[in-house]
Amino acid sequence: MKWLWLGLIMLLTGCTGVPEGLQPAGGFDSARYLGRWYEIARLDHSFERGLTNVTADYRRLDDGRIEVINRGFDAQKKKWSEVRGVARFQGSQDVASLEVSFFGPFYGGYHVLVLDPDYRHALVAGPNRDYLWILAREPQLDQATLDRLIAQASAWGFATGKLILVDHQPRS
């Protein structure tokens, strides 16, 4: 399964820009963003295909970078898959535009486009409109908020009709 996660690296290698015409959230406080986020919805990619119960954990490292641990359950193989990486800011630390690496010197864009004022949910894009995630602090997000985030992403040109809603049923 790790080779699938590495697909993320291959797809994003050297692609750290923000999707054209969009801006990452300002007034970003990385300390408030740290901790666990649940993947509520995503556009499909080989590096996450078939995964349920997907989470992302963020922790500040001593050198100022952020450790990223992505974890998901592969129902077909009946086992957990995990990948670790590091993130760093692309510019000012109060702008939610980072680059993440899961493999050596290769980085991909990670841009928080919408962030709840209480840091309870977020809409995140990669370097282009092929990468989109809706994240929340809890495994479920109320339908009105989810609908609003999907509508915003659709207005920005993301293929929201192809979003996968992530199952968060308990697994052993």
For the chain, the straight-line distance linking the first and the last C-alpha, in angstroms and rounded, comes to 18
What is the mean pLDDT for each group of 10 consecutive residues in the chain (172 residues)? Answer: 44 70 96 98 92 97 96 94 95 95 87 98 96 97 98 98 94 60
Element (H, E) at 154: helix 143-155
Q: What is the structure's pLDDT at 172?
A: 56
> What whole-number distance in Å separates Cα of residue 68 and Cα of residue 46?
19
Q: What are phi and psi of 61, to 5 degrees?
A: -95, 160
Kindly state the tokens that stand for 140. Answer: 């479920």
DSSP 19: P
Distance, CA of 165 to CA of 172 (rounded, Å): 21
pLDDT recorded at residue 8 = 47
What pLDDT is recorded for position 11?
A: 47
- Residue 69: CB atoms within 10 A of its CB come to 14
CA distance 169 to 172: 10
Give the pLDDT confidence score for residue 46 in this predicted structure: 84
Query: For position 124, what pLDDT does the model report?
Result: 98
Instruction: Count CB-CB contacts under 10 A for residue 80.
Output: 14
